[in-house]
Homo-oligomer: A and B are copies of this chain.
Amino acid sequence: MTPDEPAPQTPGPATDEPTVVRLRRQHDGQPSTPDLDLHETVQGRKPGSRFLRLTRAGEQKLRRVGEGEFEATQAAMRPTTPVGRVWAGARRVLIGAPLATADLPHERLSKFKALAIFSSDNMSSSAYATEEILLVLILAGTASLSLSLPIALAIALLAAIVATSYSQLVKAYPRGGGAYDVTQETLGVLPSLLAGSTLVVDYILTVAVSTAAGVAAITSAAPELLDWRVEIAIVFVVLLTIGNLRGIRESGSLFALPPYLFIVAFGGMIAVGIIRLALGHDMTAAAPPNPVDAGTHAVTLFLVLRAFASGAAALTGIEAIADGTPSFKPPEAKNASITLYWMAAILAAFFVGTTLLATQMDVAPSETKTVVAQIATTVFGEGVFFYLVQVTTAMILVLAANTAFAGLPTLASVMARGGDMPKQFAFRGDRLAFSNGIIVLGLASCGVLFLFDADTHKIIPLYAFGVFMAFTLSQAGMVVHWRRSRGPGWKLSLGVNALGCVVTGVVAMIVGGTKFLDGAWLSMTAMAILLLVLWIIRQHYKDAENQLSSGLAGAEGVAQHFYSASSGRPQTVLVPVETINRAVLRTMAYARTLSMNAIAIHVTDELELAEPLRQQWEESVPDVPLVVVESPYRSLIEPILAYIEGLDRTQPNHMVTVVLPEFVTKHFWQRFLHNQLSLRLKKALINRPNTVVVDVPYHLSH
């Protein structure tokens, strides 16, 4: 009988392996379906036996698939308590049904969906990058605003270089991880940890900046919401967190529409604007509300570099595709690369187009109305199309944050599997998304939004440095990669990546230098601290692994030798006893099954007070001796510890097992009324070597 056949629903005759399959009658008198004696199966190694039916309702939770091999079914995941069922129901509504690993390929993204998920961060920067340039230039007066166009063109060129560099990276490292992965393999531990920590900080800032800019698009159209921008931004982040906990595919379906709406609306605005300019219409923008004061600075190189650094924030988000490559449909690398070029092209067109329109329309930055909103007003008037541009811009910006939600959990899980992050992040929840990373990202970015008043201009200076650091590190890694691999055309590839490395390195220095005091120092500090934390975690895991495997590697049979040496140590079972009741008697009975060498110990304020207990004990539990310790200092814990120390001295190599009754209460609050002694004793014993603590649960029924 193969594992795929259904289990018989009637008792039927026993199979020809009667030791494996048993017939048993249930309480209602109905014969049950045959049960497999799991234990027999394991030890008796009887292949080909029937399916296991382990639950009352006849649901099969484990399916036997081979010798000592089982498969868990979805029934095993079903909660059995009422609270568990409610929770699972709520989870299913919010997050969706669990997915099997076998379903994973079906979760893969088409280029069309992937562009929506991974590119929104990058594309959407065109909504604020021009404004950030103008905000710097206006320090030298309104006349200098026209410098924004050459700066935008320089950034578009930079985008082309970075995209080309990254398309090579995607091909060389299709399994994701991006800068972290590449530097790990080529440059070593420290650069990869540096890349990892810069990416983590930047993912958090991406969520914060994009959400803040999205809210600014909304408040440009509805200024009365200005006072609520922090609250609105945090609500958006919470919604994104829940959406992403639903898993990758849902994210794709849910979030595919807005990016394309944005492309249509924003692209339409630029196209109409340029056409009307070309036709010679008067396209001068109205004076903005609450204009930013024009400064009187000279147009210095530093000022231009600062403006460039502000605009360079547009390039963030390119690495998301590299980190997310494994989510693409096969061939992953090719699809990712094509998506990458599309993304860069759209960004460059939108960004340069916006900047061109802004300069031609003499748009000046305002404190309450974004530059894009002013352009949209000028092109379309305050009608339907203006609101369409604002709404789609807000949507794409909030969804841009989604880039980070898709990217960071993947990165964290890659890092955790490499031992560079706590193991919690490696664990895949019962959805294919990586729940822990998503939750941490949501919380951290809410924190940033709260601290910086959800103000794009305050968060931007913290932002771009880390991204260019990561660019530089990964391109440097690629240079090493090509030198090592020397595949066909490796010299050209090396050249491309070397150029990318140098250019992004220079930009990183410009961004870090010109924005240092504005806030870059803060994100640098955060990265440095995170780097240190990751380094410490890595060292700890390496260390623990070494301790755990020391002496086990090498010659065959070493593990078996260690196991044998650990076996058969003499064992003393000690049971602290306060009184005699059912819980204590059950605990004693259990302790006796563990070892013949069981001792009960009772601590008392005065010896005489223990006399009735001793007499009752000798009657009730005649086969276990009771030791009574008087504790004149009324301490309960220390005398027990002292007694264990005494045991240690008389039997140096023994294991001490302390068995404690633990009351399991029906209600949460009742817990605080019990187990005081157990908790304190456990805390005291946890640091003793060769001492094991056993809790024997006693369930109070109400």
Query: By the criterion CB–CB under 8 Å, are A695 and B697 in contact?
Result: no
Name the one of B548, B651, B691 contacting A39, with C-beta atoms under 8 angstroms: B651
List B contacts of A100 (CB < 8 A).
632-633
Confirm or deny: A292 has a beta carbon within 8 angstroms of a beta carbon on chain B: no
Confirm or deny: A290 has a beta carbon within 8 angstroms of a beta carbon on chain B: no
Name the one of B42, B76, B597, B689 contacting A639, with C-beta atoms under 8 angstroms: B76
Q: Mark A56-67, 1 if CB is under 8 A from B, else 0.
A: 000001100110
Cα A551 to Cα B542 with chains together (Å) = 55
List B contacts of A700 (CB < 8 A).
543-544, 547
Binds B, one of A340-348, A355-363, A498-506, A640-648: A640-648
Confirm or deny: A585 has a beta carbon within 8 angstroms of a beta carbon on chain B: yes
Confirm or deny: A590 has a beta carbon within 8 angstroms of a beta carbon on chain B: yes
Confirm or deny: A239 has a beta carbon within 8 angstroms of a beta carbon on chain B: no
Q: 8 Å CB contacts to B: which residues of A672-699?
A: 672-674, 676, 686-689, 691-699
Chain A interface residues (CB < 8 Å from chain B): 22, 35-40, 42-43, 52, 54-55, 61-62, 65-66, 68-72, 74, 76-77, 81, 98-102, 422-424, 427-430, 537, 540-541, 543-545, 547-552, 556-557, 559-560, 562-564, 566-569, 571-572, 580-583, 585-586, 588-590, 592-595, 597, 599, 603, 605-607, 616, 619-622, 625-635, 638-639, 641-643, 645-647, 649-651, 655, 657, 663-664, 670, 672-674, 676, 686-689, 691-702
What is the minimal beta-carbon distance from A172 to any residue of chain B, in angstroms?
Answer: 26
The chain B residue with its CB closest to the CB of A649 is B35
Query: By the criterion CB–CB under 8 Å, are A630 and B664 in contact?
Result: no
Query: By the criterion CB–CB under 8 Å, are B633 and A37 in contact?
Result: no
What is the minimal beta-carbon distance from A218 to any residue of chain B, in angstroms?
Answer: 39
Name the one of B571, B628, B646, B701 contacting A69, with C-beta atoms under 8 angstroms: B628
List B contacts of A588 (CB < 8 A).
563, 566
With known contacts A544-B700, A628-B68, A701-B547, A571–B583 Cβ distance under 8 A: no
Query: By the criterion CB–CB under 8 Å, are B597 and A70 in contact?
Result: no
Cα A595 to Cα B702 with chains together (Å) = 33
The chain B residue with its CB closest to the CB of A690 is B697
Cα A482 to Cα B148 with chains together (Å) = 98
List B contacts of A692 (CB < 8 A).
590, 694-697
With known contacts A563-B620, A582-B562, A42–B599 Cβ distance under 8 A: yes
Cα A693 to Cα B688 with chains together (Å) = 19
Query: By the criterion CB–CB under 8 Å, are A597 and B695 in contact?
Result: no
Query: By the criterion CB–CB under 8 Å, are A101 and B38 in contact?
Result: no
Residue from A72, A686, A695 whose CB has the most chain B CB atoms within 10 Å: A72
Query: By the criterion CB–CB under 8 Å, are A428 and B54 in contact?
Result: no
List B contacts of A693 (CB < 8 A).
694-695
What is the minimal beta-carbon distance from A572 to any residue of chain B, in angstroms?
Answer: 7
With known contacts A628-B68, A676-B427, A559–B544 Cβ distance under 8 A: no
Query: By the criterion CB–CB under 8 Å, are A633 and B72 in contact?
Result: yes
Cα A39 to Cα B585 with chains together (Å) = 21
What is the minimal beta-carbon distance from A518 to any residue of chain B, in angstroms?
Answer: 33
List B contacts of A695 (CB < 8 A).
692-693
List B contacts of A69 (CB < 8 A).
607, 627-630
Query: By the criterion CB–CB under 8 Å, are B423 and A643 in contact?
Result: no
Name the one of B77, B582, B649 contacting A635, with C-beta atoms under 8 angstroms: B77
Query: By the criterion CB–CB under 8 Å, are B71 and A629 in contact?
Result: yes
Cα A629 to Cα B69 with chains together (Å) = 6
Query: By the criterion CB–CB under 8 Å, are B650 and A61 in contact?
Result: no
With known contacts A589-B566, A620-B559, A638-B72, A98–B548 Cβ distance under 8 A: no
Cα A645 to Cα B60 with chains together (Å) = 11
List B contacts of A633 (CB < 8 A).
72, 74, 77, 98-101, 430
What is the minimal beta-carbon distance from A653 to any residue of chain B, in angstroms?
Answer: 12
What is the minimal beta-carbon distance from A53 to any residue of chain B, in angstroms?
Answer: 9
